[in-house]
Chain A
C-alpha cells in the first residue's frame, strides 16, 4: 500500500487514469485500491449498522464491502463489453483497474462521510431519514468515482454515454446484491439480528411494489391477505383477554 497512490486516488484522478493504461505498477495500484475499498466500505458499514447496534455493526461492516466486491466482479466484464460496444478500445485489465480505482475512491469518500452519519445517528436521526442520508452519501461517493471513470474513458460524449450505460448496469447489480444481503441498518425493535433476511422476491420486485405504493396503487391480494391476518390476530388476542 502506497501513500503516494492513496493521495493520487483522492486528488489526482488524471494520474490514476494514466496508470491504469500502463501495466507497470498496475498490481500495486490494484492492491492499494482493494485495501482502500475494504477499509472504507467496512467502516461505513459499521457506522450504518450502529443504528441498530450490537451484532448489526459487525454484520454490516462485513456485508458492505462484500456487496461492493460482488457487484464489481459481476459488472466488470459488462463494463468492458459496453466500452467496446460504444466504440472505445480499452484493454480488459485497464477497465478492471479503472473500476477498482474508482470504487476505492468512492470508498474513501464514504470513509470521510462516516463520522457525519455517525453524528446524525447519535443525535437521534430516525430510520427513514438515516437511510436517506446514507443514500445521499452513496450518491456523493458515486460522483467521486465517476471522476476517475470519465478521465479513463477520455471525457468525450462517447465517454459519458459509456459511463451512463455502465452506471445502469452497476446500480442494477448493486441493488440486487444489496437486496440479497439486507438488512444493513436494522430496526432497533428487532429482537434478533440476522446476517441476511429471508429472500422476499427480488430488488426489481421491491422497486416495482414501492413505485406503485408511492402513487397509491396497492397490490389488492396482498392488502386483503394482510387485513385478514391482522383481523385474525385481533380476534385471537380478544379471546385470550376473555
Chain B
C-alpha cells in the first residue's frame, strides 16, 4: 500500500466520521459544522471526544448563591449606613428582608428553570431537528402542529431564562448602587433625592421579575402538556 492510498483511506474514514458527527450533534448548525470539519483531519483524536461529549450543565447553584450573597451584603451595608437617620424610612431592616426574600424566591425559580432547560427533552436544538425531520418525512398536520407548539414553548422558556438572568444582574447592580448612594449620603451629607428613585425602581424590578416567573410557570406547564 502506497502512502497516497493510506492518505486517501485516512481522509475517507475522516469524512465518514464527520458525516456521523454532523448528523448526531445536538448543538446548532455552526457547532455541528465545526465538529465535522475538525473530525476530517483529526478523527482518531476528535471523534471519540465529540461522540461522547455532552453539554456542560450550568452550575446554577454557585451562580445563584454568589448573586444572593452579593445582594445580601449590599443590603446589609445599606441598612447599617442609614440606621437612626431619616433615610431609614426608605430602607430599613424589614424592607431589606422583604427584598432579599423576593430575590431568593426569584433566584430559586430561575435555577429550577435552568435545571429544566438543561435536560435533553427540553433541548431547543433537538426540537428544531425533530420538526425538520417531521416536515421532510411529510408527517400529518396534527403531528407537525404539536411539534411546532412544543418548539415555540421551548423558545419562550429559553427567552424567559435569558431575560431573568439579565434582570437578576440588573437587580444586583441596582442594590449595589443603592448601597453606595446611601453610604455617600451618610458620609457626605449630600441630598438623598436619588435614593427614593432607586428604591422605587428596585421594587418595580422585583415586581416585574415576579410576573415574568409566573409567565415561566405557565410556559413550562404548556411545554409539559405539548
Contact = CB atoms under 8 A, between A and B. Distances in A.
Given A24-B53, A24-B57, A69-B41, 10 more contacts: A23-B52, A25-B54, A26-B49, A30-B50, A31-B34, A73-B45, A77-B44, A93-B48, A96-B44, A96-B46
B45 A96 contact: yes
Contacts of B35: 27
Contacts of B55: 24-25
A30 B57 contact: no
Interface size class of A (residues with CB under 8 A): 20 to 34
A92 B48 contact: yes
Contact of A76 (B34, B45, B54, B57): B45
Interface of B: 34-35, 38, 41-42, 44-46, 48-57
Contacts, number: 56
Contacts of B56: 24-25, 28
Given A30-B46, A77-B44, A93 B38 contact: no
Interface of A: 23-28, 30-31, 34, 69, 72-74, 76-77, 91-93, 96-97, 99-100
A23 B57 CA distance: 11
Contacts of A69: 41-42, 45
Nearest to A27: B53
A96 B57 contact: no
Contacts of B38: 31, 34
A28 B54 CA distance: 10
B54 A23 contact: yes
